C-alpha cells in the first residue's frame, strides 16, 4: 500500500511517498481504509521532532517518537475511513462501517491507505461516524475538539463566565469558541484581523486583533483564559485573569475519550458545533499541506484526502 514515511526529523521535504506492507488485523483490531487524514499541530511537532518553546516537552516527544530519528515512520494522528476487515474478537464494528478516530499509541500513523486500530485501547479512540458529518469533517474532529473540551472541563467552565481564547481561529481555538458558547459562556476571541469575521461567526461576542492591540493592557478580567496555541506568556495571562480564575493551555496533557466524542456528537446534532476546514489537499500533496501549516496562516483545520 502507499504511505507517506519519514526517516529523519525536519522540514516538509523529509516526507516521502513509498510502498509499504498492508497491515493485517489481529483478533481485536479493525482494518480501516482511510478516506481522510489531517495536518494537525501534533503531526508538525512529530515531523520536526520538536515541541515549540519547551525543552521539556521536546524531550518527552523524542522519548515517545525516537531520540535521534523517528521510531514510527508513518505520521498522521487523526483519520476517517471505512472498515475493510475485522478481527475475530471485534464486536463493535463490521465491514463497511464509516468510522473515525486517532492513531495515538500505535506503531503506524494515518498517512497511509490502510491502518489497523484496536477496537478498544487506552490513549486513543475509534468510533462510528455520524451521518451528519462528512469524512472531511469527521477527520478533523478528534484532536482539536477533544483537546478543547478536555481543557475547558478541567477549567470547570460554567454558564455566564467570561472566557478569553487566545488563538481563536486555529483548530483548537475554533472548537474552544463553540464549546464555550455551548456551555453558556461570554467569549472573547483573540486572533489576527484576517480572521476576526470567522471568530465572530463561531459565536464570539468580542474579538481582539492581537496585531494591533496589547491584550495585557485591555483592563478586562476573565474567569478562564484559554491559550489555544501555547504562546501566551505568564506575565500576560496573569493580567487577564480574575481572582480565582483558571488558565489552560494546549501545552498540557489531555485525554482522548470516546465519551468526549459522544458529547461532541450531541453538540453537532443540535447545530452548536461545526468543524472549520481551511483547505483540502490530495494525498500526494502532503508536503505542500505541511508547508502551508508551517506558514502559520491556517484557519481551523487542514485535511488530506486519500
Residue 270 has pLDDT above 80, yes or no: yes
What mean pLDDT is predicted for residues 34-45? 95
HSE (side-chain half, CA atoms, 13 Å) at 32: 34
44-82 pLDDT tens trace: 999 999 887 778 778 877 887 888 899 999 999 999 999
Minimum mean pLDDT range among 84-93, 165-174, 227-236, 259-268 = 227-236
pLDDT at 261: 97
Distance (Å, whole) CA 136 – CA 280: 8
Record the pTM: 0.94
| Cα dihedral across residues 160, 164, 170, 172: positive or negative | negative
Kindly state the helix (H) or strand (E) to which residue 173 belongs, with its residue range.
Answer: helix 171-182
Query: Is residue 144 a contact partner of residue 40, using CB atoms and an 8 Å limit?
Result: yes
A 10 A CB-CB count for 122 gives: 9
- What CA–CA distance (Å, rounded) separates 114 from 118? 13
274: exposed, middle or buried (Cβ count in 10 Å: 0-12, 13-18, 19+): middle
Interatomic CA distance for residues 98 and 136, integer angstroms:
12
- The C-alpha atoms of residue 74 and residue 229 are separated, in whole angstroms, by 25
Give the C-alpha separation, 84 to 96, whole Å. Answer: 6
**Lowest mean per-residue pLDDT among 60-64, 166-170, 180-184:** 60-64
What is the reported pLDDT for 264?
98
Instruction: Report residue 242 as a C-alpha cell.
Output: 480574575
Amino acid at each position: 500500500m502507499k504511505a507517506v514515511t519519514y526517516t529523519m526529523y525536519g522540514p516538509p521535504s523529509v516526507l516521502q511517498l513509498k510502498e509499504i506492507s498492508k497491515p493485517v488485523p489481529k483478533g481485536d483490531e479493525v482494518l480501516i481504509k482511510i478516506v481522510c487524514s489531517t495536518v494537525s499541530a501534533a503531526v508538525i511537532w512529530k515531523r520536526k521532532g520538536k515541541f515549540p518553546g519547551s525543552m521539556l516537552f521536546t524531550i518527552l516527544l523524542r522519548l515517545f517518537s525516537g531520540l535521534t530519528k523517528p521510531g514510527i515512520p508513518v505520521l498522521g494522528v487523526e483519520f476517517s475511513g471505512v472498515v475493510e476487515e475485522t478481527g475475530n474478537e471485534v464486536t463493535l464494528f463490521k465491514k463497511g462501517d464509516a468510522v473515525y478516530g486517532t492513531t495515538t499509541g500505535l506503531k503506524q500513523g494515518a498517512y497511509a491507505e490502510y491502518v489497523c486500530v484496536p477496537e478498544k485501547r487506552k490513549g486513543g479512540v475509534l468510533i462510528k461516524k455520524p451521518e451528519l458529518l462528512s469524512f472531511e469533517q469527521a477527520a478533523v474532529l478528534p484532536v482539536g475538539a477533544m483537546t478543547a473540551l478536555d481543557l475547558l472541563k478541567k477549567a470547570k467552565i460554567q454558564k455566564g463566565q467570561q472566557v478569553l481564547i487566545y488563538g481563536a481561529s486555529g483548530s483548537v481555538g475554533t472548537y474552544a469558541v463553540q464549546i464555550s458558547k455551548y456551555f453558556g459562556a461570554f467569549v472573547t476571541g483573540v486572533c489576527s484581523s484576517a480572521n476576526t469575521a470567522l471568530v465572530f461567526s463561531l459565536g464570539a461576542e468580542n474579538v481582539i486583533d492581537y496585531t494591533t492591540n496589547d491584550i495585557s493592557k485591555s483592563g478586562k478580567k476573565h474567569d478562564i483564559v484559554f491559550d489555544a496555541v501555547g504562546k501566551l506568556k505568564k506575565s500576560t495571562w496573569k493580567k487577564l485573569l480574575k481572582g480565582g480564575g483558571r488558565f489552560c493551555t494546549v501545552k498540557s496533557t489531555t485525554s482522548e475519550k470516546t465519551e468526549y466524542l459522544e458529547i461532541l456528537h450531541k453538540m453537532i446534532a443540535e447545530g452548536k458545533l461545526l468543524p472549520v476546514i481551511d483547505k483540502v489537499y490530495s494525498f500526494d500533496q502532503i508536503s505542500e499541506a505541511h508547508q502551508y501549516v508551517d506558514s502559520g496562516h491556517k484557519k481551523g483545520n487542514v485535511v488530506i484526502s486519500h
